Amino acid sequence: MGKKILLEKEHIEGIRYFDTYRKNGGYAAADKAFKMSAADVVEEVKKSGLRGRGGAGFPTGMKWSFLAKPEGVPRYLVCNADESEPGTFKDRYLMEFLPHLLIEGLLISSYALGSERTYIYIRGEYAWIEDILDEAIAEANRAGYLGQNILGSGFNCQIYVQRGAGAYICGEETALLESLEGKRGNPRIKPPFPAIKGLWDCPTVVNNVETLAAVVPIILMGGEAYSKIGLGKSTGTKLISACGNINKQGVYEIDMTISVEEFIYSDEYCGGIPNGKKLKACIPGGSSVPILPANLTLKTAKGEARMMTYESLADGGFPTGSMMGSGGFIVLDEDQCVVRHTLSLARFYRHESCGQCSPCREGTGWMEKILHNIEYGKGEMKDIDLLWDIQSKIEGNTICPLGDAAAWPVAAAIRHFRDEFEWHVLNPEEALKRNFGLAHYADPIEVAVG
Amino acid sequence: MSEQKTFKVTIDNITVDVEAGTTILQAARKIGGDVVPPAMCYYTRLQHSGGYCRTCLVRVAAGSTADPRPMPKLVASCRTPVMDGMVVENITNPAVLEARKGVVEFLLINHPLDCPVCDQAGECDLQDLSFNHGAEATRYEFKRRTFERIDLGPYIQLHMTRCILCYRCVYTADQVAGKREHGVLDRGDHSQIATYIQESLDNEFIGNVIDVCPVGALTDRTFRFKNRVWFTKPVEAHRDCPTCTGKVRLWMRGDDVLRVTARKDQWGEVEEWICNECRFEKKKVSDWKIAGPTRVDRHSVISAGHYTNILKPNETFSAIMDGQKPKQLMDIHDVSEVNNVDLNEIKGPATGATFDGNPKSSGVNVTDIKTGEGRNLEGTDSTNPNTP
């Protein structure tokens, strides 16, 4: 049984409101943190080994320690709640049911970083959650946990919620800052990094919702204790939003000690695949990360069981591995068409590319058109190689990671499911009527290593 | 911090000393020659420009002497500052050339390639780029993105189909013209330069967007379709202008001033911004004090047609012909042999009517230069004020 830390109190009725949250031990971490010095709070987070939950998995404590602290310049903490990755909906769950957990985490982090004005940049489509957060902030203000001279510490902090306008690209931290400043949401060119020059050219830390919420249990139990949960460098618990062909879709909190197999088939989590179908493929970390065929989902190329940890999911690099990403766990059963699936992702990235740098602007559209041709029976064999070439020229050559995120799913689909693409090209009429099916993917065949 | 430090940078095995804070691209320009990465969106005189087109990608093989690790990805040389002891690979690294080739292909997939009818042809950065760094053919087999032509006031026409979204005109309007009335709308491959609600750009320095445009997306309506740039002779000239410095380059054919632009340096960048009056209104030789012919150093066809460095053939024609004089093969005549129309009488573009017994009539594709604004569906233009 996995340990629940973040979602421990989610079942309590009325936990959304301040009084219930307070009665159930809420804001105890804030009380504790305000007795510590700001540097000690950062030190605890460093000790906890907490890694960014937004996708990149960068150690949070290290990110915080990079924050420049020039005299007389305000510093900002921005919470990235622009969760728009297809397959990822964990932050929505957290904010909708436990808004005060986020507010508390933000308050502690703001105190640690010295941010007196803290922003939550929330996805435009989450309109009702903005209301929930606004209400929670008002409650916290009334209770004295926000505003002037919080808990007599002399520290002032106010949290503002800003809604985006429905752009995936604004989840990229510098595009988010541009959008927050009221400009067009184009990613900035790095360096300078936000820790030096961020919001309004001031030092800024941008963290994911789940990362900031995780600061609360870290302060409560101490960084040491938190770092003992999980495997290796994947410390603590992670929210996984599972969807696709599974019996129980939803948000699960795992403590990163279980295997992927257990996560998919155990009744405690996804509960297996409906109608007795077989697993065909899995995207373990949201639409941007490489898709894995069934055999590589359950076992690494070395034959070890694949675990739900940052390291194990990335084992084998891109040839045979994937990434933890943002924890959007998408399962495809034997009835799903990988080409169609890749097309729908390519369409998404084409639509969401900001159009700033040329490889991503032009390449995403080109990939979508080719995939559309292959899916609808107009593809040629050379298109598959062309697709591979286009993705390789987008990857790594763009300003922000959206180009990589558009290239990786296409690359992985061709890498692992090339025969399905070829089948589409060779049997265009059949491909319109039925799906390729499972073929050999679910068989525990030997995987060529290297 | 204020002390002047110089950094040693090695680009393609050539070491150069540059000031701290210089970008890799500027350091490469200091060396010159083939090691200079191409730049489509970067503009030295425009702050924050660069980093978008990705044609200037280079590999940093060693970050600095203090931290000699290579950078994991190719970096945009126009926006990456140099460090002491940095080692950069440009043309010596096949991966860089391959990536650049890819970028050129991406830039061209939605470009109409209408160079034969484009006014920018001959001085187009994209032409030079694709000639120098691109592949022979595209692999793109789909319909290209198109837009309607839009007249942004009396002087500038926007042909968004040709645009490569370098953002230079946006920064120019921000930083030079002072009041920006256009920007980028939408996103992805349907993003466009637009004024949102169609209106004219009427700042007195807005004409400079034509000079900074690397392609033929923003063109001078007073010059459109009047001539090809390689037939016109560049001449340095100046006048006492109350608004700008008045230092310009005239593009002349015979005694006619066909076009006025700002002076550009060897990287195709404007040296001094000029005002709209100088650019669009002063089209007579008498308006200007002419200093002399311009020598254009750049590679493209505009450097043809100089007055200087004229090469004479070693052998004369008669020497090749063994002392024989060349026979006149073609008779160039003044009067049409079809219906005896005096060709010198035709003014402006000739049409069918000209030879239909109405020799004085010429093509009516002239719009009023002062009133044209908004969509230009016919795509006609030319605002030729000299035609009747």
In this structure, what CATH number is given to the domain that contains residue A429?
1.20.1440.230
Domain span holding position A280? 240-333
- Cα separation, B234 vs B306, whole angstroms: 8
Higher pLDDT, A447 or A360: A360
Cβ distance of A167 and B184 shorter than 8 Å: no
Partner A contacted by B186 (CB < 8 A): yes
Between CA A341 and CA A372 the distance in angstroms is 11
Number of other CB atoms surrounding residue A220 within 10 Å: 16
Smallest Cα distance from A96 to chain B, Å: 30
Q: Examine the fold and report which residue of A333, A355, A374 is the final residue of a domain before the chain moves on.
A: A333
φ, ψ dihedrals at B201, nearest 5°: -95, 120
C-alpha to C-alpha distance for B219 and B226, rounded to whole angstroms: 12
Q: Is A359 a domain residue?
A: yes
Identify the domain boundary among A308, A333, A358: A333
Q: Determine the Cα–Cα distance for residues A138 and B184; give it in Å rounded to an integer.
A: 38
> A251 and A240 in contact (C-beta within 8 Å)?
yes
Is the ipTM beyond the 0.90 threshold?
no
Same domain, A355 and A386: yes
Q: Which amino acid is at B337?
A: E
- In order of A164, A319, B197, the CA distances from B185 in angstroms are 17, 38, 11
Q: Per-residue pLDDT for A387 more than 90?
A: yes
Least CB–CB distance from A184: residue in B98, B139, B184: B184
Closest partner residue to B189 (CB to CB) among A365, A390, A396 is: A365
A258 and A220 in a common domain: no
Q: Is residue A235 part of a domain?
A: no
**What pLDDT is attached to residue A438?**
65
Residue B189, beta-bridge partner list: none
User: Cβ(B12)–Cβ(B92) under 8 Å?
Assistant: yes
Of A350, A355, A397, the CB nearest to B54: A397
State the greatest distance between any 2 C-alpha atoms of chain A, in Å, as a whole number. 73
Q: What is the pLDDT of residue B6?
A: 87
Structural tokens at position A42: 């950062």
Both tokens of A295, joined, read 């055999």
* Cβ contact A397–B140 (<8 Å): no
Q: Chain B partners of A366 at a C-beta cutoff of 8 Å?
A: 106, 109, 140, 142
Pair (A87, A157) in one structural domain = yes
Looking at residue A2, its pLDDT comes to 59
By Cβ distance, the residue of A169, A362, A386 closest to B107 is: A362
Tell me how far apart the alpha carbons of residues B46 and B173 are, in angstroms, rounded to a whole number: 10
A443 in any annotated domain:
no
**Which residues from A are below 8 Å from B105, CB to CB?**
393
Instruction: For residue B10, list its beta bridge partners.
Output: B15, B87
B51 → closest Cβ in A184, A189, A351: A189
CA geometry: angle B139, B302, B236, nearest 5 deg: 145
Report, in angstroms and rounded to the nearest whole number, the Rg of chain B calculated over CA atoms.
24
Q: Quick one: A211 and A109 in the same domain?
A: yes
Inter-chain CB pairs, A–B, below 8 Å: 89
Proportion of chain A above pLDDT 90, given as a percent: 50
With contacts defined as CB-CB under 8 Å, which chain B residues touch A184? 183-184
d(Cα A185, Cα A225) in Å, to the nearest integer? 39
Binned at pLDDT 50, 70 and 90, residue A448 comes out as very low
CA distance B184 to chain A (A): 9
Bigger pLDDT: B331 or A59? A59
Instruction: Give whole-number Cα distances, A336 to A416, A417, A443, B78, in Å.
Output: 15, 12, 17, 45
**Set of chain A residues whose Cβ sits within 8 Å of the Cβ of B165:** 355-356, 358, 361
Collapsed DSSP state (helix, strand, coil) of residue A168: helix
Contact A345, B169 (CB under 8 A): no
Number of compact structural domains in chain A: 3
Q: Which 71-90 residues of chain B touch chain A by CB within 8 A?
A: 73-74, 76, 79
Would you say B133 and B55 are in contact if contact means Cβ atoms under 8 Å apart?
yes
Same domain, A165 and A288: no
Give the pLDDT mean for A365-383: 92
Q: Is residue A327 part of a domain?
A: yes
Each residue's pLDDT tens digit, A232-285: 888 889 999 999 999 999 999 998 889 999 999 998 889 989 988 888 999 998
Residue A180 falls inside a structural domain: yes
Work out the pLDDT band at A429, boundaries 50, 70, 90: confident
- Token readout for B218 is 């923003």
- Tell me, what's the pLDDT at A74? 92
Interface test with A, best of B47, B52, B108, B125 (most A CBs within 10 A): B52
CATH number of residue A62's parent domain: 3.40.50.11540
Question: Among A291, A311, A333, which residue terminates a domain?
Answer: A333
Contacts for A342 with CB less than 8 Å, ≥ 6 apart? A291, A371, A409, A410, A413
Which token pair is B116? 């034969």
**A396 and B73: CB-CB below 8 Å?**
yes
Nearest Cα residue in chain A from B98: A393
Q: Are A321 and A313 in contact (CB under 8 A)?
A: yes
Of A352, A355, A359, the CB nearest to B102: A359
Q: A112-133 pLDDT, tens per residue?
A: 998 999 999 999 999 999 999 9
| Interface test with chain B among A179, A184, A362, by most B beta carbons within 10 Å | A362
Element (H, E) at A387: helix A381-394
Task: State whether residue B282 is helix, strand or coil.
Answer: coil
Measured distance CA(B247)–CA(B249) in Å, rounded: 7
Tell whether A216 and A360 lie within a shared domain.
no
- For residue A441, pLDDT beyond 60: no
A122 & A65 share domain: yes
Q: Over its length of 388 residues, how does chain B's per-residue pLDDT go in tens digits?
A: 445 688 999 999 999 999 988 999 999 999 988 889 999 999 999 988 888 999 999 999 988 888 888 888 899 999 989 988 899 999 999 999 999 999 999 999 999 988 899 988 888 889 889 888 888 888 998 988 888 888 888 888 999 999 999 999 999 988 988 778 888 888 888 888 888 776 777 788 888 999 999 999 999 988 888 888 888 888 889 999 888 888 999 988 888 889 999 988 888 888 899 998 999 988 888 888 888 887 766 555 666 555 555 666 777 777 777 777 766 666 667 777 667 777 777 766 666 766 776 655 544 443 434 444 555 555 444 444 443 3
- Does residue A38 sit in the same domain as residue A155? yes
Count Cβ atoms below 10 Å from residue A326 Cβ, excluding itself: 30
Quote the tokens at residue B378. Answer: 């016919």
CB atoms A364 and B188 under 8 Å: yes
Q: Is A8 part of any domain?
A: no
Edge to edge, the sheet with strand B374-375 lists B218-220, B156-159, B149-152, B374-375
Q: Nearest-CA residue of chain A relative to B193?
A: A355
Residues in A whose CB is inside 8 Å of some CB of B read: 167, 169, 184, 189, 350-359, 361-366, 369, 386, 389-390, 393, 396-399
Q: Do you know the residue count of chain A?
A: 450
**Partner-chain contact A359 B74, CB within 8 Å:** no
A151 and A49 in a single domain? The answer is: yes
CB contact under 8 A, A366 and B109: yes
Q: Are residues A31 and A158 in the same domain?
A: yes
Asked if residue A296 belongs to a domain, the reply is yes
Residues of B in Cβ contact (< 8 Å) with A187: none
Judged by a CB distance cut-off of 8 A, whether residue B189 touches chain A is yes
A36 and A148 part of one domain: yes
Across chain A, mean pLDDT equals 89
- How many C-beta atoms surround the C-beta of residue B264 within 10 A? 20
Contact assignment for B164 to A184 by CB distance below 8 Å? no
Could B54 and A354 be called an inter-chain contact, meaning their C-beta atoms sit closer than 8 Å? no
Average pLDDT for A46-70: 88
State whether A214 and A311 are in the same domain: no
Strand pairing class (B289-293; B233-238): antiparallel
Q: pLDDT (tens digit, 9 = 90+) per residue, A279-331?
A: 899 999 889 999 999 888 888 888 888 999 888 888 888 888 888 889 899 99
pLDDT at B326: 64
| pLDDT of the residue at A361 | 92
**Confidence at residue A445, expressed as pLDDT on a 0 to 100 scale:** 40
- Cα–Cα distance, B295 to B266 (Å, whole number): 10
CA atoms of A340 and A348, how far apart (whole Å): 12
Q: How far apart are CA B52 and CA B79, in angstroms?
A: 10
A359 contacts in chain B (CB < 8 Å)? 54, 102-103, 106
Here the tokens at position A393 are 């020229």
Q: In 3D, which of B222, B212, B206 has the Cα closest to residue B265?
A: B212
Residue A4 placed within a domain: no
Q: What is the pTM of this model?
A: 0.84
Residue A281 has, within 13 A of its CA and on its CB side, a CA count of 30
